[in-house]
Structure 1
Amino acid sequence: MNIDYKIGEVKLSYKPKFKNQQKVTCSEDAYKYMLSTYKKGTICYKEYFKVLFLNQANQILGYTLISEGGLTETTADVRLIFQAALLTNS
């Protein structure tokens, strides 16, 4: 019996876009940066779970959308959050 076992390759990537990273010093800074990631007109009618990744100097490495829900709830899988955090070395 000659069986050819082939599987797909999984690639995860993180490519920083900016050399000059913005620094978060308070919750208002984080709010301003995250607010700019939403499309106009969508923030009021859907629930989103986004994560902002920072390094140890509180510089922004990036963000990701973990889940998108309905009017009242959305779910977040902690494994996806940790996966992205490890990938970005947050």
Structure 2
Amino acid sequence: MPQITEVTLAYKSTVPIESLPTITSPEEAAAYLRSIWNDDHLELKEEFLIVILDNMKHVLGHSLISSGGSTATIVDTAQIFQVALLGKANSIILAHNHPSGNKKASTADVQLTKRTVEAGKLLGIPVDDHIILIRSGYTSLRNEGLM
């Protein structure tokens, strides 16, 4: 019989948990996102990322999921949860920008959010919010009742 490789996972943080930022509101989410977003891309191309949170809403990390053109980017739900699972997420925040400066959620944004919320329910990883970031503000899909 051929030798089969064992797959192992490990997680080791080098940062004390009490020093991590927390996100408990859309305002805090938008402020954190502004601090990490590549400002040169905000009005150039649409990007989608997730923020990984622990059970106390400490930010464990973030990951760029996709980068597209000036009007859209393709988002793979499986990739979102691959990162969330490997990052030891208790919940996640979805985020993307609208280079057009329009902060209103599109039909595609709402559909993606609802699909991701449903997938998160199956995996036990809730989606806390979906933030659309623009130069002059943001929209919280949770606050808009679109989740």
Partner in structure 2 of residue 71 of structure 1: 70
Deviation at 1:89, TM superposition (A): 1.1
- Unaligned 5+ segments in structure 1 are 1-9
Structure with the higher strand share, 1 or 2: 2
Cα RMSD over matched residues?
2.3
The aligned runs of 1:1-90 (5 Å cut-off) are 16=13, 18-19=15-16, 20-90=19-89
Structure with the higher helix share, 1 or 2: 2
Amino acid at match of 1:18: V
TM-score (norm 1): 0.78
Rate the CA distance shift 1:42–1:14 in 2: closer, same or farther, 3 A: farther
2:39 is paired with a residue whose SS is coil
After superposing the two structures, state which structure 1 stretch, 28-37 or 66-75, moved more: 28-37
Deviations 1:9-51 (A, max 9, x none): x998766453211111201111111111222322111100010
2:41 is paired with a residue whose SS is coil
How far apart, in 2, do the equivalents of 1:36 and 1:17 lie?
21
- Unaligned 5+ segments in structure 2 are 1-6, 90-147
2:40 is paired with a residue whose SS is coil
Rate the CA distance shift 1:44–1:25 in 2: closer, same or farther, 3 A: same
Deviations 1:44-82 (A, max 9, x none): 111000100101111100000000000100011111111
How far apart, in 1, do the equivalents of 2:29 and 2:52 lie?
10
Aligned residues: 82
Amino acid at match of 2:64: L
TM-score (norm 2): 0.49
Q: Percent identity?
A: 36
Higher relative contact order (CA 8 A, sep 6+): 1
How far apart, in 2, do the equivalents of 1:11 and 1:73 lie?
36
